[in-house]
Structures are given as structure tokens and as C-alpha cells.
Amino acid sequence: MSEPRTYRKDTSAAPRGYSSWEAAGLLWLAEAEEDGGASIAELRDVDTTHIDLVQYAPAPATNLAADEFGAALAATHAAGAPAFGAPPARWSSHGFIGPGESPMPMPVEPTQTWGAFFAEQRIRHLLRAGRAKGLWEEEGELFEQVAARLESGEFDDGRPPARIHGDLWAGNVLWTSSGAVLIDPAAHGGHPETDLAMLLLFTAPHIARIIAAYDEAAPLADGWQERVGLHQLFPVMVHAVIFGGGYVRQSVEMARKYA
């Protein structure tokens, strides 16, 4: 049987450490595969200038593949993490999120509660990054109010930290003949609703079936639909800082719902 082909992701334009961060996330998420977790792109090699992965042949997303992916993602989350905000194993610095050529540094510091983690290391961190670029000059208090509600524990539900992909938009799910394969993680200990909200933000194929299968495998907490926008505020703020444009207005509108 011939060796599978290799896909080389060029990371030469990324900040130092980016490729190692991504590799650590891939390996950490892949640990859950033995227990039914989602399939993770197989790492072949990593260097400061590239990441080599097995190259997968694309195939249409099917209902069955979506069902299997939803259940598998629940198993990945169930593999857990040492704390909210905890980085992947083999990693001890800050993380990154965003396009490979210009990713944003993101904190990954273990925190006692999800709300405190999301408030400080996601909402406030991005608010500071955005204001340094002249964004949200008049709306800063709005985002601070969201962070204060998070920090108060209002959105904490007592669930333990999940092992999440962290950047699970539709483009980071490869559909192959053997099902979904995940790439480009920003993995950390987080809330499982964050990954699901990302899949909903840019509407992954068969999203309703993915969510239903996930919910059957690991029942979602009451009111999760009302919190989708709260989790989506993070990636929309990332897009606002990196790309500007309509994402700035969208982030303000989303923040207003949770302020």
C-alpha cells in the first residue's frame, strides 16, 4: 500500500512558535481519538517554517458523516483539560488564532472558572488589541459589561473544562470519504459550546445534524441556544481586529445583547 501524500503548510511568515503551537494542539486533540474522539489531521513533521500533514482527499459531507462527527466531537470534549484556559500538553507559552500568515497572540493561562477565563483572556484581551488599532473607542464600556457578567459566574454551569478545538469554523473541518477531519486548531481547555458556536457562525454543512448528534451523545445545557452569540463574540472580535470592516459593527451588536 502506497504512503499517503503529504500536505505542507507554509508557516514562514507566521510569528516564531506558531507552527509548534499548532502541532501541540493537533497532538493533544488526537489523544482523544482512541476513545471515539474526532479525527485529527495526522502530523508528519513540524519546523519553524512549515507543518507537514497527511493530505486528505476531499469528499462531499453526508448526513452519516455529520452524525458521526457530532458524536465524535462530544468525545473529544469529554477528554477534558486541566483547567479552563489551559494550553495543550507540550505547550507552555501563549497561543495564536487567526490566519497563518498573521495570527494574533492569545493568552492560554489556567483559570478556575470558564467565565473568568473568557472575560479576561478573550473579551478584554481582544478589546485591548482592538483599541490599540483605534477600534471600539466609544463602545469599550459595552464589552467591559459583557466581561463583568462573565466574570461574575452568571454563565458558568459547573461543567468541567472541555478539550476544545478553539477555532472550529467550517473551513477547519475537512470532509473526506472516511468522515470529518479537523485541522488548524487553537486548542485549549474551554467550554464545549464554544466549538459548537463556531460551527454555527459560518454554518458548517449539515450543522443541524451535527448539533443533534452531539446533543444525543452529550446533552447540552439548558438555554445553550441563547448563549451561542456570547461564544461567537470572541471569533467576531478576532475578525474585527484582523480584518476590520463590518465585523466591527457586528461585534458591537453582539456585545449589546449580553451587556
For residue 115, give Cα distances in angstroms to 24, 72, 130.
25, 26, 21
Q: Of 167, 195, 215, 222, which one is the catalytic site residue? A: 167
Distance, CA of 3 to chain centre: 31
Q: How far is CA 129 from CA 67, 100, 230, 234, 254, in A?
A: 38, 18, 19, 12, 18
Place of cell 469599550: 140
Note if 167 is an active site residue. Answer: yes
* Strand stretches in the chain, DSSP E: 6-10, 39-40, 43-46, 50-54, 95-97, 104-106, 162-164, 173-176, 179-182, 188-190
- CA Rg, the chain, in Å? 18
Helices 63-78 + 192-201 axis angle, to 10 = 150
Give the Cα separation of 113 and 222 in Å (integer).
Answer: 19
β-pair type (188-190, 162-164): antiparallel
Residue 98 φ then ψ, to 5°: 115, -175
CA atoms within 13 A on the CB side of 209: 12
CA dihedral 65, 179, 170, 43 (to 10 degrees): 160
Residues identified as active-site = 167
